[in-house]
Each structure stands twice: as structure tokens, then as C-alpha cells.
A and B are shown apart, each in its own frame.
Chain A
């Protein structure tokens, strides 16, 4: 059984040191869980993040010798975003522009490793 409150609490643990929000999305880009500050439209950002992931995954499969996509880092003028896959879902971290790519990638890898097993159980049930 999925406990939404517990899931949000886990996601909120990543929101330190410049990370503003953490999103969990399903494969269609709909928001499953969210934790973060501010009143930004998380569902719109989530839908775009999902589209970016799907496009690069498909193009990588076709053009990079059938490579599997592990992580995407996006830098914009006012912030950075990291996207990775957890079970059959997408995890997305949004941060301010002064967070370095290394820290962002380490945090999203740690978070996905932690969530992989419980979310895989839910996905298979």
C-alpha cells in the first residue's frame, strides 16, 4: 500500500542546500507526489521534464548503439533540473542556479537508490 504522506516526507529530505522541489511522476508525466517550496506550477514542469526524458531516451536508443538513459541534467538561466528513472516512474529534482551539477547528480542518485525497491514492489503489484 502506498502512503502518500510518507512518500512526500522522503522526497522532502532532498530539499536542502538549494534544491527547491522534488517531484515523482508517472510515465505519462502526471504528478504522483511533490515536495517543495514556492508556488511554482509543478505539474507543468513535470510534464515538460517527462517529455524531455522520453525524447532523449528514444533518440539514444536509436542513435547511440541502443544505450539506456540513466540521468538527465538540465541547466536553465534561473535554475537546474535533474531527472532519473525509479522503477517505472520518473524522479525530478529542481534547484537554484548556484547548485552544482555534481551535487545535483549525487542527490538524485541517492534518492533513486533509496526509492527503487519500495516503488518496484508497488509497480509489480
Chain B
């Protein structure tokens, strides 16, 4: 299953020149699946970098322009296109001169993949909540949130 998904992502990545990496993470920047070629910096596919978008998309949603959906960064050598596909985040890392429009179009090509992963993520969250409720009956929501953050 994962191999099929990776080969599909690799195929999509090859459709855009100078696109070096695609990563799908949760909102904390934890990598669910990623594909990359040798040109992508290793550090750009770690949680420390990917989690910044998770925080910034929440900040950008408070600018009085509604919920944030995308942030595109142009650096002197790279560009990053990051998309908020709640509850997942989609990250593209490309050369500065890569076609940004084509990268943005990949969101539509990956819509089905994102939907499938979202279902799994939501299902796992529900199972964990149920298991927690069984272990700690009568527990309030705040304690549940604190515990689920540190235990899981």
C-alpha cells in the first residue's frame, strides 16, 4: 500500500520539472509519507522545518481574511509550496525557477490520496479517543487532551 502510494507520488513529482520533494504530514509536521530526489535538502523533510507551516497557517487564519489555505515561499535557491488540506498538510519543495502554477495544480491530482489518508488519520484518532474513554471513564475533555498529547 505504502509502496503504491510512493510510486504514485513519484510519478506526480516527475510531471513538474525541478520539483524535488513531496511530503504529506499531520498538522504538527509529523511525516506520514514523503518522496524526494537527491536535490532535496535532508533537513527540509524533517519535522523541525515542516512544522513551521502548521503554526503559520493557524496564524495566517487570524489576519481577517478567513482560513488560510496556502503559503508559498520563494528563497534564493528554493521555493516551497505548502497547502493546508485539513487535517493534513501538503508540502512541495522545488527549485526557485520551477513552475509554481504546475505545483499548485498537483493539489488536484493528489486530492484522492489526501482524502484516503485523512480518513485513516480520523479513524485512528477516533479509536484512540474510544480507548482512552474506556481506560479513564468519566474523565473530562481537557484531561483527555493533555493525556493524549503526551501518551500517544
Contact = CB atoms under 8 A, between A and B. Distances in A.
A75 B48 contact: no
B73 interface: yes
A62 B56 contact: no
Contacts of B70: 73-75
A48 B55 CA distance: 12
A48 B62 contact: yes
Nearest to B48: A63
Contact of B76 (A70, A94, A101): A70
Contacts, number: 111
B65 A67 contact: no
A8 to B, nearest CB: 21
Interface in B52-92: 52, 55-56, 59-78, 80
A48 B60 contact: yes
Contact of A45 (B56, B63, B78): B63
Interface of A: 40-41, 44-45, 48-49, 51-52, 55-56, 59-60, 62-65, 67-81, 94, 101-102, 105
